[in-house]
Amino acid sequence: MRDLAKYQGIIPAFYACYDENGKVSRERTKALALHLLKKGVKGVYVGGSSGECIYQGVQERKEILEAVMEVAKGKMTVIAHVACNNTADSCELAAHAESLGVDAIASIPPIYFRLPDHAIAQYWNDISAAAPNTDFIIYNIPQLAGVALTLPLFKEMLKNPRVVGVKNSSMPVQDIQMFKMAGGEDHVVFNGPDEQLISGLAMGADGGIGGTYGVMPELYIKMFDLCKAGDYTTARNIQNDVDKIIYAMCECKGNLYAVMKEIIKLREGLDIGSVRKPLAALVPEDAPQVNKCKVMIDEAIAKYC
């Protein structure tokens, strides 16, 4: 049996930390990693959707992971999303991640072209083979990647002994149950949609990886602990308040990641820049709504934590 305890908890998707010129900032990346470490999260998921990986080059993604590992290695779980829109670059990032000693690598399926399952499996197995000593996590996020992980494809991937589980960001909670049942107790499934973390945990998710965890980690840690203690009533109260905050953040004209970075600056005094085009930066008229969301987070943490 694998030691899966390192995956069982709240793992924020790490944000891209840029300087004033929109370049990757090692110092700001290290500052965010230290900030999340101090908040007591289980680990970080680096280079995913919330990390704006799609808009970064291979060298930039290596720089970000190196900076995170300088702070996090040996202190919290680090999962590195290494997928690029071609196999060669993905394998380069996978090998680099393994050389740094990450706990796991992860990958979306190939994007843009619609590929048959055997080609998707080959893509994932090639990436996994580039990091032969590292756990591999399938990243199922059909609403963004444009292709869904099917049960037959998952069963095919389970033949790869490095496959440790699925980060499931699809909205049907049933997908978590389906992949957990297929993988069994020797594999993990992460809940991806933050709006239904407690539902995913109830259906068998071992932990959660989420894009809004980083702006209010205290609330997700509390929900996780309450669910593990069987207090789903209180957990649901927190989930409802968290969802109100997510909906409120999504009302801004600026992209959600830009909103959350601004809230972190307002609440924690930590400046990690804005978002990279073509993602939309905040506009001046977003300021009142951003501040409203900050207050909602302050109040929820004061109420529950």
Ligand X SMILES: CC(=O)N[C@@H]([C@@H](O)[C@H](O)[C@H](O)CO)[C@@H](O)CC(=O)C(=O)O
Q: Give the CA angle between residues 196, 201, 203 to the nearest 5°.
A: 95
Alpha-carbon gap, residue 252 to 13, rounded angstroms: 21
Residue 207 in the binding site for ligand X (CB under 6 A) = no
Residue 80 in the binding site for ligand X (CB under 6 A) = no
Residue 274 in the binding site for ligand X (CB under 6 A) = no
Spot the catalytic one: 139, 213, 220, 257: 139
Residue 13 in the binding site for ligand X (CB under 6 A) = yes
Beta bridge partners of 210: 12
Total number of residues that touch ligand X (CB under 6 A): 18
Residue-by-residue DSSP string for 225-265 = HHHHTT-HHHHHHHHHHHHHHHHHHTTSSS-HHHHHHHHHH
If the CB atoms of residues 51 and 254 are measured against ligand X, the closer one turns out to be 51
Residue 143 in the binding site for ligand X (CB under 6 A) = yes
Spot the catalytic one: 6, 167, 261, 294: 167
The stretch among 63-71, 121-129, 191-199, 274-282 that binds ligand X (CB under 6 A) is 191-199
In the annotation, is 139 catalytic?
yes
**Residues in region 152-171 near ligand X by CB under 6 A:** 169
Rounded to the nearest whole angstrom, what is the least distance from the CB of residue 209 to ligand X in the complex?
Answer: 6
Instruction: State the burial class of residue 89 (Cβ atoms within 10 Å of its Cβ: 0-12, 13-18, 19+).
Output: middle
Residue nearest to ligand X (CB): 48
In degrees rounded to 5, what are phi and psi of residue 272?
-120, 25
Query: Which residue ranges make up the annotated binding site?
Result: 209
Residue 243 in the binding site for ligand X (CB under 6 A) = no
If the CB atoms of residues 211 and 217 are measured against ligand X, the closer one turns out to be 211
Rounded to the nearest whole angstrom, what is the least distance from the CB of residue 1 to ligand X in the complex?
Answer: 27
Residue 50 in the binding site for ligand X (CB under 6 A) = yes
Rounded to the nearest whole angstrom, what is the least distance from the CB of residue 119 to ligand X in the complex?
Answer: 23
Residue 193 in the binding site for ligand X (CB under 6 A) = yes
By the 8 A CB rule, do 65 and 46 touch? yes
In the annotation, is 42 catalytic?
no
Residue-by-residue DSSP string for 160-171 = STTEEEEEE-SS
| Residue that has been written with the tokens 């009533």 in this structure | 233
Cα–Cα distances (Å) from 230 to 157, 223, 235, 305, in that order, read: 33, 10, 9, 17
**Which of 109, 200, 211, 214 is the binder for ligand X (CB under 6 A)?**
211
By the 8 A CB rule, do 31 and 19 touch? no
Amino acid 79 reads I
Catalytic annotation, residues:
139, 167
Chain residues that interact with ligand X, rule: CB under 6 A: 13, 48-51, 141, 143-144, 169, 192-195, 209-212, 246
